[in-house]
Amino acid sequence: MNSSVQKKCVTNQYEQQVNALKRGCFKDPFSFLGPHTAGQGTLVIRCYFPGVTKVTVKLNDQLIPCKRYLDSDLFTVNIAAAIDDDYTYILDYADCQIEQHDIYRFQSALDHEAMYLFNEGTLEHAYRHLGAHFIRLANVDGVRFSVWAPNASSVSVIGEFNHWQKSQHFMRFNPSCGVWDLFIPELKTGQCYKYAITTTSGTVVEKADPFAFKMQQAPGTASVLQQHGRAIELTDKMRKQRAKRNAVDAPISIYEVHLGSWQRKTNNEYLNYQELADKLIGYVSQQGFTHIQLMPISEYPFDGSWGYQPVGLFAPTSRFGGVDEFKYFVEQCHIANIGLLIDWVPGHFPSDPHGLHCFDGTHLFEHADARQGFHPDWNTYIYNYDRPEVRSFLIANAMFWLEEFAIDGLRVDAVASMLYLDYSREEGQWVPNCFGGRENLGAIECLKQVNLRSYANNPDILMVAEESTAWPGVTRQVDHDGLGFGYKWNMGWMNDSLHYMQRDPLYRQHHHHEMTFSMVYAYSENYILPLSHDEVVHGKRSLIEKMPGDDWQKFANLRAYYAFMWAHPGKKLLFMGGEFAQRDEWNHDKSLDWHLLAHISHDGMQKTVQALNKVYTTTPALYELDNDPSGFAWIDSQNAQQSIFSFIRYAKKISEYVVVVCNLTPNVYQNYQIGVPSDGKFEVILNTDEQRYFGSGVEASSTLISAQKTPSHGQKYSVSLALPPLATVYLKKVSNESIN
């Protein structure tokens, strides 16, 4: 080939490449840009810098000018050097001069063995490989970017460091795994970035990093470079405490919190993580709760979603401070021996354009068919759980919170919506599985794997399902055909008991079963009894305002109900504000109404919850056998006419038990007789009608109550006591040592 023909071929090739670079669509930049062997110990170096006036290569102490190709922004130079020689560019702009490395001389830092596991659906720590990571490569400090976008035509990193130009930092495509990667030297923590993704149709979409450790606050939508930092490590003492407080036979009393509205500053600004650590943790300890459960804190753009439409699953929300401040909050929980759970949302994701929807121009994270991939109720998209990479993404996110922050556990939101293909859909609006059924087989397998890996890697945690149907085996082990959760919210108990308590006491006798039916299935799963945020929003009214009667009766009803709940088998969960009877529905835009505590009624409610937690956590009969039928026995479940419920809670040591009597009418019953299983004396350890709780002050008994050898309710012995109005009373057998 003569020189003129060869030059024409090169020119034609360069024209195509320059046009692709100019359009910001370049799938294989490393094949053209950067250093390439030109033969006989020489390199040809090509670079593309829009807006520069001159480019010079600095090799050792040599300054070698580059030649502009025609009138384009492509520059080339031939130098005598080896392919692995270090050099930099000196870029002259109209107003400044910059020296920088050639990003296209660095080899890929992608771990291809890890990417194999990612494609297989088993990469537990995908967040260590994908996303933006500060590393040192070829003796140069910088950031390795990696993003899964297998169907893109081109992907560029855009950010503050390149003026958001998609033609500056084209990424390398790895066809074996569908991941694009690029190492960019000398970037700084706090710089914003995104991925500019060119789809097969030529459209460019700008997406936040699915694995970003930090995100901008709205209205910003960019990811933010963040050092990964150290994982929180528990001391041996903390590990022992965690194992003890999370055990199935432990007292678990959970305080559910929305960090943005628990308490605010006088100017309505948020408390930061450090302030929350100093105030919230102390308050929770004082009130006697054993655990805090945070509503979702993965970064979310819209306050009104309460965090249930997250965009940054690997980024603790920066509304309350940075990652280090969040770690401080977590560490203070551990120091105070308070368990910390967080809401986790693997059931759906929002339609925000910078999020996961149509990530690379295709339905990558979600199903393409709207009958499978879209939630009509929430206007959100459903993960494609059948896709292995999506399973890796979700499993890794669970591992991220449990291992990097040593969180005690995850409460998994909206599990029912994941399990059923026809969830909230009419006939013809859903697609059956391969067997013709309504079960979402991919979601089931994903949940099983999340639970298996979470418990295997992090013993003594709590995995909790918010599952509102009768799906069998939610808390059964995976190898016994269960989903593998540790606990399930008892939505049936919550719905039935709240319906009952909202009725006028005059009519409760006709709905007695609503308070007793839960014991029919109480041991079918490991249950948590929830009075969550869902019960005090959207026109449902606050808990206190659900109660019937005048103001005194409202408070008496709620105190009695709480005491019934604390005595009922199952762990406990109460949403913030419920402990002092917040009157208004919960409003995420403002603080709880702490000023109400100036009133004796609200102060009395707070003291009631405090007393309940103290009695609960110090009385093994109220928690040790929550999941064992031998831990509960009805004394009288049939007294519908008087709306009285009485039962016994047993400890593992059967001689230790508590007698619980609930009078859910405004009547006072003197000399009320109930059967007890043994002789001896009993003391009143709780009476919700005490005056310090804003009760009427009727005493169940002013002294120890002696059991009489008078059979009653199928028991050999009985005791007689006064039943206060709208009140719950706990009696505990006194040991002989205590009497003496």
Is 288 found in the same domain as 404?
Answer: yes
597 is a domain residue:
no
- pLDDT score of 253: 98
Is 710 found in the same domain as 656?
Answer: yes
Res 13 pLDDT > 90: no
451 is a domain residue:
yes
- pLDDT score of 24: 84
Is 476 found in the same domain as 337?
Answer: yes
Is 195 found in the same domain as 63?
Answer: no
637 is a domain residue:
yes
State the amino acid at position 634 in one-letter form.
W
Convert 569-596 to b/e letters by CB count within 10 Å (16 or more is b): bbbbbbbbbbbbbbeebbeeeebbbeeb
The CATH number of the domain where 712 resides is what? 2.60.40.1180
Closest CA to 256 of 344, 347, 345, 342: 342
245 is a domain residue:
no
Classify residue 49 as exposed, middle or buried by CB count within 10 Å of its CB (0-12, 13-18, 19+): buried
- Helices 441-457 and 388-399 pack at an angle, to 10 degrees, of 30
517 is a domain residue:
no
In whole angstroms, give the CA distance from residue 312 to residue 585: 28
Is 219 found in the same domain as 202?
Answer: yes
User: What values do phi and psi take at 488, rounded to 5?
Assistant: -130, 140
State the amino acid at position 491 in one-letter form.
M
Number of domains in the chain: 4
Where is the domain boundary, 486, 505, 537? 486
In whole angstroms, give the CA distance from residue 246 to residue 671: 41
Q: Tokens 């923590």 appear where?
A: 189
Q: What DSSP state is assigned to residue 18?
A: H
Categorize the per-residue pLDDT at 10 as very low, low, confident or very high, splitting at 50, 70 and 90: low
What are the pLDDT digits (tens) for 593-606?
999 999 999 999 99
What are the pLDDT digits (tens) for 377-435?
899 999 999 999 999 999 999 999 999 999 999 999 999 999 999 999 999 999 999 99
Q: Which residues are catalytic?
A: 413, 466
> Domain residues for 372?
252-260+275-298+307-486
143 is a domain residue:
yes
Categorize the per-residue pLDDT at 39 as very low, low, confident or very high, splitting at 50, 70 and 90: confident
What are the pLDDT digits (tens) for 242-285?
999 999 999 999 999 999 999 999 999 999 999 999 999 999 99
- pLDDT score of 1: 47
Is 183 found in the same domain as 100?
Answer: no
Is 482 found in the same domain as 363?
Answer: yes
Q: For 257, what's the count of Cα atoms within 13 Å in the CB-facing half-sphere? A: 22
Q: For 739, what's the count of Cα atoms within 13 Å in the CB-facing half-sphere? A: 13
- pLDDT score of 683: 96
Is 162 found in the same domain as 94?
Answer: no
Res 737 pLDDT > 90: no
What are the pLDDT digits (tens) for 204-250?
999 999 999 999 998 999 999 999 888 999 999 999 999 999 999 99
Is 731 found in the same domain as 667?
Answer: yes
- pLDDT score of 522: 96
User: Which residues, 6+ apart, have CB-to-CB distance to 732 below 8 Å?
Assistant: 619, 621, 657, 658, 659, 682, 683, 685
Is 139 found in the same domain as 92?
Answer: no
Which residue would you say has higher pLDDT here, 77 or 26?
77
- pLDDT score of 22: 87
- pLDDT score of 38: 85
User: What values do phi and psi take at 319, rounded to 5?
Assistant: -55, -30
Res 9 pLDDT > 60: no
Is 147 found in the same domain as 96?
Answer: no
Helix, strand, coil percentages in the chain from 3-state DSSP, rounded to 5 = 30, 25, 45
Where is the domain boundary, 59, 90, 105? 105
**DSSP, residue by residue, 287-330:** HT-SEEEEPP-EE-S-GGGTTSS-SEEEEE-GGG--HHHHHHHH
Is 347 found in the same domain as 481?
Answer: yes
Res 12 pLDDT > 80: no
| DSSP H helices in 228-301 | 236-245, 273-287
In this structure, the number of other CB atoms found within 10 A of the CB of residue 615 comes to 20
What are the pLDDT digits (tens) for 347-362?
999 999 999 999 999 9
Percent of the chain residues topping a pLDDT of 70: 98
- pLDDT score of 175: 96
- pLDDT score of 215: 96
State the amino acid at position 92 in one-letter form.
D
The CATH number of the domain where 73 resides is what? 2.60.40.10
What are the pLDDT digits (tens) for 482-527?
999 999 999 999 999 999 999 999 999 999 999 999 999 999 999 9
Q: What angle do CA 287, 292, 296 make, to 5 degrees?
A: 145
- pLDDT score of 5: 44
612 is written with which tokens? Answer: 């309940």
In whole angstroms, give the CA distance from residue 559 to residue 250: 23
Where is the domain boundary, 45, 76, 105? 105
In whole angstroms, give the CA distance from residue 627 to residue 569: 7
- pLDDT score of 11: 57
Assess contact for 673 and 722: CB atoms under 8 A.
no
Closest CA to 411 of 261, 575, 277: 575
Percent of the chain residues topping a pLDDT of 90: 92
Mean pLDDT of 320-338: 97
Assess contact for 348 and 417: CB atoms under 8 A.
yes
Res 738 pLDDT > 70: no
Closest CA to 260 of 606, 587, 596: 587
- pLDDT score of 41: 82
Say what the pTM is: 0.95
457 is a domain residue:
yes
Mean pLDDT of 18-27: 87
What are the pLDDT digits (tens) for 63-105?
999 999 999 999 999 998 888 888 999 999 999 999 999 999 9
Task: Tell me the average pLDDT of the chain.
Answer: 95
101 is a domain residue:
yes
